[in-house]
């Protein structure tokens, strides 16, 4: 991979959120930057193996390990960008009642409340990972999914609409491990629904 194809860590103007401290965000940005660095590093190492145009048998174990780790780091980078992007300061809580997200939730579930119950339920699942609301790009239907680590459970080709980090690092400086529901409540009070609606198929 040439230098100019490397990923550059984005800067997020995110601070002063409700219930998620600046200290948590600063630490989280650093973690995110680590995923960007590792993605670039793994891609460079893989490119090195490919340089002579083939993968020798003795290179296969290392190549396989790099490729497996690439799935973890790559998704870690992309999901954190979605997560930070769907948060904002002075957000308003629930989405606008007549907005595109509410309409999509009502078309896919019985109501926005039913969608939220499911999404929050996914967020409370034990384990380390993400709660993600995806849209089916063909039908526009919303479904909520649990993603283990960063890469297990993503639905191929589906569009991430709302992304919530529920790794403990996302809230441990602010809440006890057993207080994940409080963090989820805080997350909801900071959602940037305009960004979320812009991600809906045909939303922009
Ligand atoms: Fe995270």
Confidence of residue 202 (pLDDT cuts 50, 70, 90): confident
Per-residue confidence (pLDDT) for residue 203, from 0 to 100: 65
What are the residue ranges of helices labelled H in the chain? 22-50, 60-85, 100-108, 112-123, 180-189, 193-199
- Say how many Å lie between the CA of residue 33 and the centre of ligand 1: 11
Q: How far is the CA of 167 from the centre of ligand 1 (A)?
A: 6
Residue 25 Cα to ligand 1 midpoint, Å, equals 10
Question: Is the pTM above the cut of 0.85?
Answer: yes
| pLDDT exceeds 80 at position 204 | no
Q: Closest by alpha carbon to 10, among 70, 79, 73, 81?
A: 81
Helix (H) or strand (E) holding 165: strand 159-165
45 C-alpha to ligand 1 centroid (Å): 25
How many Å lie between the centroid of ligand 1 and the Cα of residue 139? 30
- Is residue 198 predicted with pLDDT exceeding 80? yes
Structure confidence at residue 158 (pLDDT): 98
Residue 185 phi/psi, 5° resolution? -60, -45
Q: Sign of the C-alpha dihedral, residues 187, 80, 160, 167?
A: negative
Query: How many angstroms does the Cα of residue 81 sit away from the middle of ligand 1?
Result: 10
Lowest-confidence range among 84-88, 128-132, 199-203? 199-203
Q: Is the pLDDT of residue 101 over 90?
A: yes
| Ligand 1 centroid – CA 164 distance (Å) | 9
Q: Which two tokens stand for residue 52?
A: 């002579």
pLDDT at 30 > cutoff 60? yes
Cα–ligand 1 centroid distance for 165 (angstroms): 6
Residue 199, pLDDT above cutoff 60: yes
Distance 108 CA to ligand 1 centre (A): 28
Ligand 1 center to 110 CA (angstroms): 31
Task: Please give the distance, rounded to the nearest whole angstrom, from the Cα atom of residue 22 to the centre of ligand 1.
Answer: 14
**132 and 145 in contact (C-beta within 8 Å)?**
yes
Give distance in angstroms: CA of 132 to centre of ligand 1. 13
Gap from CA of 171 to ligand 1 centroid (Å): 9
**Per-residue pLDDT tens digits for 150-161:** 999 999 999 999
Q: Which two tokens stand for residue 8?
A: 């550059």
Percent of the chain beyond pLDDT 70?
Answer: 97
Band of pLDDT at residue 5, cut at 50, 70 and 90: confident
- Residue 17 CA to ligand 1 center (angstroms) comes to 16
**What tens digit of pLDDT does each residue of 172-189 get?**
999 999 999 999 999 999
Tokens, residue 20:
């998620």
In this prediction, residues 132-138 reach a mean pLDDT of 97
Find, among 190, 175, 197, 196, the residue nearest to 14 by Cα. 190
Ligand 1 mean position, distance from CA 50 (Å): 31
Q: What is the dihedral of CA 15, 20, 21, 24, to 10 degrees?
A: -100
């Amino acid at each position: 991979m040439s230098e100019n194809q490397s990923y550059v860590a984005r800067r997020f103007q995110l601070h002063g959120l409700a219930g998620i401290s600046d200290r948590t965000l600063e630490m989280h940005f650093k973690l995110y930057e680590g995923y960007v660095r590792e993605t670039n590093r793994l891609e460079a190492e893989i490119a090195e193996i490919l340089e002579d145009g083939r993968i020798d048998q003795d290179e296969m174990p290392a190549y396989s390990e790099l490729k497996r780790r690439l799935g973890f780091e790559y998704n870690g980078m992309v999901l954190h960008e979605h997560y930070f992007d769907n948060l904002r300061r002075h957000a308003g809580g629930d989405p606008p009642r007549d907005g595109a997200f509410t309409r999509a939730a009502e078309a896919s579930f019985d109501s926005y409340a039913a969608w939220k119950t499911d999404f929050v339920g996914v967020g409370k699942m034990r384990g380390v990972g993400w709660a993600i609301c995806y849209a089916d790009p063909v039908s526009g239907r919303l479904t909520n999914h649990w993603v283990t680590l960063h890469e297990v459970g993503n639905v191929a080709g589906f569009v991430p609409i709302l992304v919530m980090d529920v790794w403990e690092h996302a809230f441990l400086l602010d809440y006890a491990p057993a207080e994940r529901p409080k963090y989820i409540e805080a997350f909801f009070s900071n959602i940037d629904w305009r960004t979320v609606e812009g991600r809906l198929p045909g939303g922009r």
